[in-house]
Structure 1
């Protein structure tokens, strides 16, 4: 892992080749990903990575996509928008 990065960690969700899941996850960890959740049958996982390392994740062989996690906030139940 690259512990020298001063970039802020961001959450990411990745889709990878499910037939090579273990191998790809190992490469992602070496590229700086801290894995928080794995779904090997689906070929997806999530984790955190310094923002400046997102490109390194995408470059790992077997990675199909890298997306930043998004937070959606709903209005309060008593909000006039409801």
Structure 2
């Protein structure tokens, strides 16, 4: 019985230096990020990474912030909570 030492992947959104966008993406990939979206004009990118690798991702030069992706659930339009 062997358990994986790696944690489950989580979605993340990164704010990065837009002037170094390509370099930051490459370094983030090397830190373990699987890139799922790139927004170079906004200086953001999204992806998934093992939760225990987030500290390594935060230490990448040019990464300003790393936020976990969150789902927001709204009530249906006909709900009285609107």
Q: Same fold (TM over 0.5)?
A: yes
The unaligned stretches of length 5 or more in structure 1 are none
**Residue correspondences, number:** 79
Question: What is the CA-CA distance between 1:7 and the residue it aligns to?
Answer: 0.6
Unaligned runs of 5+ in 2: none
Question: Given the two structures, how large is their TM-score scaled by the length of structure 2?
Answer: 0.90
TM-score of the superposition, structure 1-length normalised?
A: 0.90
Q: Where does structure 1 differ by over 3 angstroms across 4 or more consecutive aligned residues?
A: none
CA RMSD of aligned residues (A): 1.3
Seen in structure 2, the aligned counterparts of structure 1 residues 48 and 60 have a Cα distance that, compared at 3 Å, is same
Partners of 1:31 and 1:45 in 2: CA distance? 14
Q: What's 1:61 paired with?
A: 61
